[in-house]
């Protein structure tokens, strides 16, 4: 196999990013960009983000997960705590989140530490999920090897019968993580590959230090 992609070209011309555009708390710019993408690019699935962890085998691994809430404290997503990513976070809570919104020619890269959220918050979100998603969390021993698809479908049908007309409890191995940022980089595509990159680093006094980076 030999596929040459050197001819792929795209000129980024939809915006600019200046230091003055980034407020003292960069989470405010994250919120602004998120809502702009969500409004003007409705097919972009704005809350889809790449989560990178360091696995138990020592290799980094990235996968797309869905952001479910963000606050001034951090970014919340939900998963099976016993999954590959859950076990990786338990061993090393240093993670990276990345949003790439190609329609807006924007990217945000976030370094931070992940920790479990309070159980009552996980309970509240689990209760808000459709029943199918609730049962799906119970069906899947996430990241474990399964014999075939039929094994999952059979387990789902059995659980549907078991919980028919009943409230479905949140499994104690399923819940939320919050990623508390220590560094946030905003990337705006520009012509001639001279992209705008503004990095915000949290210092020891919890102040955000803004820096422009060369593209």
- The range of the structural domain enclosing residue 188 comes to 19-127+173-213
Whether 164 maps to a domain, the answer reads no
Contact 82, 141 (CB under 8 A): yes
- Per residue in 147-188, pLDDT (tens digit) is 889 888 999 999 999 999 999 999 999 999 999 999 999 999
Residue in 53, 76, 74 with CA at minimum distance from that of residue 66 = 76
Q: Residue 31 has what pLDDT?
A: 98
Whether 31 maps to a domain, the answer reads yes
Contact 145, 54 (CB under 8 A): no
What is the CATH number for 198?
2.30.110.10
Residue with tokens 């606050």: 71
186 vs 42: which has the higher pLDDT: 186
What radius of gyration do the chain's Cα atoms show? Answer: 20
Contact 152, 160 (CB under 8 A): no
Mean pLDDT across the stretch 120-143? 92
Please state, in angstroms and rounded to a whole number, the distance separating the CA atoms of residues 30 and 22.
9
Whether 165 maps to a domain, the answer reads no
Q: Residue 193 has what pLDDT?
A: 93
Q: Residue 54 has what pLDDT?
A: 98
Total domains, the chain: 1
Whether 203 maps to a domain, the answer reads yes
Q: Residue 32 has what pLDDT?
A: 98
pLDDT > 70 fraction of the chain, expressed in percent and rounded = 100
Please state, in angstroms and rounded to a whole number, the distance separating the CA atoms of residues 168 and 101.
36
pLDDT > 90 fraction of the chain, expressed in percent and rounded = 87
Whether 13 maps to a domain, the answer reads no
Name residues whose C-beta falls within 8 Å of residue 33's C-beta, 6 or more positions apart in sequence: 101, 104, 106, 108, 186
Whether 120 maps to a domain, the answer reads yes
Per-residue pLDDT band at 74 (split at 50, 70, 90): very high
Whether 82 maps to a domain, the answer reads yes
Q: Global pTM?
A: 0.93
Whether 148 maps to a domain, the answer reads no
Q: Are strands 75-80 and 174-188 parallel, antiparallel or unpaired?
A: antiparallel
For residues 20, 21, 22, 24, the Cα torsion angle rounded to the nearest 10 degrees is 60
193 is catalytic: yes
Q: Residue 178 has what pLDDT?
A: 98
List 193, 197, 199, 212, catalytic entry: 193
Which residues does residue 70 pair with via DSSP β-bridges, in sequence order?
Answer: 75
Per-residue pLDDT band at 127 (split at 50, 70, 90): very high
Per-residue pLDDT band at 189 (split at 50, 70, 90): very high
Contact 117, 125 (CB under 8 A): no
């Amino acid at each position: 196999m030999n596929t040459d992609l050197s001819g792929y070209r795209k000129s980024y011309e939809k915006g600019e990013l200046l230091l003055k555009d980034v407020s003292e708390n960069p989470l405010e710019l994250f919120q602004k960009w998120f809502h702009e993408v969500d409004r003007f690019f409705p097919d972009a699935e704005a809350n889809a983000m790449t989560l990178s962890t360091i696995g138990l085998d020592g290799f980094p691994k990235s996968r797309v997960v869905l952001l479910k809430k963000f606050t001034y404290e951090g970014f919340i997503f939900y998963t099976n705590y016993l999954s590959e990513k859950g076990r990786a976070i338990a061993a090393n809570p240093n993670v990276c989140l990345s949003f790439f919104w190609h329609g807006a020619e924007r990217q945000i890269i976030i370094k931070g530490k992940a920790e479990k959220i309070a159980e009552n918050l996980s309970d509240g979100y689990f209760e808000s999920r459709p029943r199918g998603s609730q049962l799906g969390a119970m069906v899947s021993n996430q990241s474990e090897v399964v014999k075939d698809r039929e094994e999952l479908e059979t387990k789902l049908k059995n659980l549907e019968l078991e919980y028919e007309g009943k409230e479905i409890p949140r499994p104690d191995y399923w819940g939320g993580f919050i990623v508390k940022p220590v560094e946030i980089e905003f990337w705006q595509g520009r012509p001639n590959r001279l992209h705008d990159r503004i990095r915000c680093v949290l210092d020891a006094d919890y102040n955000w230090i803004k820096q422009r980076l060369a593209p």
